[in-house]
Amino acid sequence: MKIKLDENFPARTASVLNAAGHDVHTAGEESLSGCDDLELWNAAQREERFLITQDMDFSDVRRFTPGTHSGILLVRLRSPSADNLVERVRELFHKESATEWSGCFVVATEHKVRIRRPPNK
């Protein structure tokens, strides 16, 4: 899976995902740290990458309608420490069918995963 990792995730998250066989680009590696959301979004879409973020600006499913993009995983933890974020992403990509999330809008909390799929999926 081609993934764009937002700067609000620890860099070691990319290593976890790469080790699981995914192709990960990080905002930091691409000099997108501190850029506005639209610039990050456009980069992810241009490269057809699934975006992993904690940024609530990407939570509007009317603006980011499933099926109109490469997919979004919004991780919302009560205690979003670096260790908790890395571990939750590791768990999601190990236990869930994350490779089927292309084009979907996915929200993951500590105990739940909600998936909004494109109308035709």
Within a domain: 84 = yes
Q: What is the CATH classification number for the domain harbouring 6?
A: 3.40.50
Domain count of the fold of the chain = 1
CA distance 89 to 75: 8
Within a domain: 121 = no
Q: What is the pLDDT of residues 44-97, one digit of tens each?
A: 999 999 999 999 999 999 999 999 999 999 999 999 999 999 999 999 999 999
Radius of gyration of the chain (CA): 13
C-alpha distances out from residue 57 to 2, 63, 97, Å: 21, 10, 25
Per the structure, the complete domain to which residue 77 belongs is given by: 2-116
Reported confidence tier of residue 121, pLDDT bands at 50, 70, 90: low
Within a domain: 64 = yes
